[in-house]
């Protein structure tokens, strides 16, 4: 068994591999899920709250042990030899989960360095972790960083420092919505291109 479990995508993520962690074991995610601010996309106070939290607490409970093991291992710096050798052109980070600390992101940076022919695509709300790490280490050229806007219906039109794109979520129809199909049919998030402001309607 590989030291880190790589998941095969399904649904919207069909055809893409991802490195996931257990959202229900991450303090940041639990705080966001339990937030009383209904405008936070993760909050369960309005609409449906965090997709990953809902899935991992119900019919995806079987994934929790593997995702939790990934999280525990990524929390500490992993030896180079234990980092996965990837046989895919794209690896998404955090289809489920979130960066938990600086070591977690440093491990992802090292995975990118070990696999220069694979595009490593990271979605995260934790811009502070990104800034701290990339202020100290060089960013691999095969890494795409997407800032996941935590506030619904408040579109960010400017990409933050260190990021390549912004992923926004709205609750109402919007003429600017450009995320409405399976990832592999679109690929706007997974390529270096001019599509750097992504907008999806909440499901």
Question: Any idea which residue has 């990832």 for tokens?
Answer: 183
Is 70 exceeded by the pLDDT of residue 167? yes
Tell me the two tokens of residue 130.
């990104």
The predicted pLDDT at position 10 comes to: 86
Query: What is the mean predicted confidence (pLDDT) over 64-71?
Result: 95
Is 90 exceeded by the pLDDT of residue 67? yes
Query: What is the mean predicted confidence (pLDDT) over 84-94?
Result: 96
- Is residue 22 a contact partner of residue 71, using CB atoms and an 8 Å limit? yes
The predicted pLDDT at position 51 comes to: 83
Is 80 exceeded by the pLDDT of residue 73? yes
């Amino acid at each position: 068994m590989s030291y880190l479990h790589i998941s095969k995508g399904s649904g919207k993520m069909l055809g893409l591999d991802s490195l996931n962690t257990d959202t229900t074991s991450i303090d940041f995610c639990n705080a966001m899920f339990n937030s009383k601010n209904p405008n936070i996309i993760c909050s369960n106070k309005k609409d449906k709250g965090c997709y990953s939290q809902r899935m991992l607490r119900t019919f995806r409970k079987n994934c929790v042990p593997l995702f939790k093991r990934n999280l525990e291992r990524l929390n500490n710096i992993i030896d180079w030899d234990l980092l996965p050798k990837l046989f895919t052109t794209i690896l998404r980070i955090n289809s489920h989960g979130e960066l938990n600390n600086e070591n977690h992101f440093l491990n992802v940076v090292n995975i990118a360095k070990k696999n220069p022919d694979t595009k490593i695509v990271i979605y995260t709300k934790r811009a502070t972790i990104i800034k701290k790490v990339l202020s100290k280490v060089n960013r691999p050229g095969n890494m795409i960083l997407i800032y996941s806007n935590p506030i619904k219906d408040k579109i960010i039109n400017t990409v933050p420092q260190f990021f390549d794109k912004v992923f926004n979520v709205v609750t109402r129809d919007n003429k600017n919505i450009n995320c409405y199909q399976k990832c592999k049919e679109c690929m706007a998030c997974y390529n270096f291109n001019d599509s750097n402001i992504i907008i999806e309607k909440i499901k």
